[in-house]
């Protein structure tokens, strides 16, 4: 068979993949349905197995199909989305003035309510690092400024898969008045940042979430147990206090196939009745 030259046309692998993609989008191939095997594609399109496989790979990279080695590829079934709302910022602040017992109870139940705690392992590592250029720019301080850093991980106890990951930076200068923060930094509950800052007289009055997205590295894919074609949502949280200082910068990562970020914006009411 002579080579299927791309004579001004789109590559064959793309034509094959698009054909299947359209069948999926039309609902002709519903979620869970097997897509044509490599064998079938080589016969139907008269291409080498390698080209048929490239078409399969394209469909995986678009996040449309999944399948482990050895089984047929199937149309991806959407996963249940975990909602993460910026409402939690105010909820956390509301906890600051409550008693410690209440904080522990409400904090884990209301804000982190969704999962039985036993299934997961929390890990929190705290240390102190000089700011590199990127994080220094985020704070608007000089590179080298000492930062208190905490990295937080939630992993599935059985599979070892990562479920949550974030890192938080606070300028050491801001919190050095309360050595408790640094000494007891390894608590497994990250919701307490606002309370901790409150103990050194800092009130956070504004939080800015910056959302971007990017593809995982091969290592990220393994750690998060991500399938092909699934991006990562990246959220940088910037906490600003009543003196307009940036007091905390936090970066968090969420797999896009199981996370929905929600940001409610209340609008000011019109003061006067309208005239029409």
Burial of 193 (0-12, 13-18, 19+ CB in 10 A): buried
d(CA 237, CA 64): 31
Closer Cβ to a second copy, 126 or 200, answer by number = 200
Cα torsion through 132, 234, 214, 83, rounded to 10: 170
Contact 37, 20 (CB under 8 A): no
51 binds, among a second copy, DNA, none (CB under 5 to 8 A by kind): DNA
116 binds, among DNA, a second copy, none (CB under 5 to 8 A by kind): none
6 binds, among a second copy, DNA, none (CB under 5 to 8 A by kind): DNA
We find the least distance from the C-beta atom of residue 263 to DNA, in angstroms, to be: 36
Contact 212, 222 (CB under 8 A): no
Closer Cβ to a second copy, 137 or 208, answer by number = 208
Closer Cβ to a second copy, 42 or 61, answer by number = 61
Locate 36 and state its tokens.
């044509």
Residue 71 binds to a second copy (criterion: CB under 8 A): no
Residue 119 binds to a second copy (criterion: CB under 8 A): no
5 binds, among a second copy, DNA, none (CB under 5 to 8 A by kind): DNA
| SS3 label, residue 65 | strand
188 binds, among a second copy, DNA, none (CB under 5 to 8 A by kind): none
Contact 85, 262 (CB under 8 A): yes
- The residues of the shown chain that bind DNA, judged by CB under 7 A, are 1-8, 11-14, 37-39, 46-51, 53-54, 56-57, 60, 67-73
d(CA 195, CA 104): 12
Instruction: Give the one residue of 86, 108, 145, 151 binding a second copy; rule: CB under 8 A.
Output: 86
């Amino acid at each position: 068979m002579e080579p299927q030259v791309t004579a001004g046309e789109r590559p064959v692998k793309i034509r094959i993949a698009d054909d299947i993609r359209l069948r999926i989008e039309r609902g002709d191939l519903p979620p869970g349905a097997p897509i044509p095997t490599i064998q079938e594609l080589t016969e139907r399109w008269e291409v080498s197995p390698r080209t048929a496989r490239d078409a399969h790979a394209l469909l995986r990279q678009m996040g449309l199909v999944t399948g482990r080695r050895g089984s047929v590829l199937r149309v991806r079934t959407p996963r249940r989305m975990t909602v993460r709302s910026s409402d939690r910022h105010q909820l956390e602040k509301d906890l600051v003035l409550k008693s410690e017992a209440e904080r522990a109870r409400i904090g884990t139940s209301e804000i982190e309510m969704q999962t039985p705690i036993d299934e997961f392992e929390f890990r929190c590592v705290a240390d102190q690092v000089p700011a590199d250029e990127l994080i220094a720019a985020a704070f608007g301080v000089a590179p080298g400024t000492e930062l208190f850093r905490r990295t937080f991980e939630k992993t599935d106890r059985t599979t070892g898969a990562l479920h949550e990951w974030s890192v938080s930076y606070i300028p050491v200068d801001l919190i050095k008045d309360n050595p408790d923060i640094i000494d007891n930094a390894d608590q497994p509950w990250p919701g307490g940042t606002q309370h901790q800052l409150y103990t050194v007289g800092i009130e956070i009055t504004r939080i800015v979430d910056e959302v971007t997205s990017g593809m995982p590295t091969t290592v990220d894919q393994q750690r998060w147990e991500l399938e092909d074609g699934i991006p990562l949502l990246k959220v940088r949280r910037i906490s600003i206090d009543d003196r307009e200082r940036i007091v905390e910068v936090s970066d968090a990562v969420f797999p896009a196939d199981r996370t929905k970020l929600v940001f409610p914006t209340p609008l000011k009411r019109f003061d006067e009745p309208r005239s029409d």
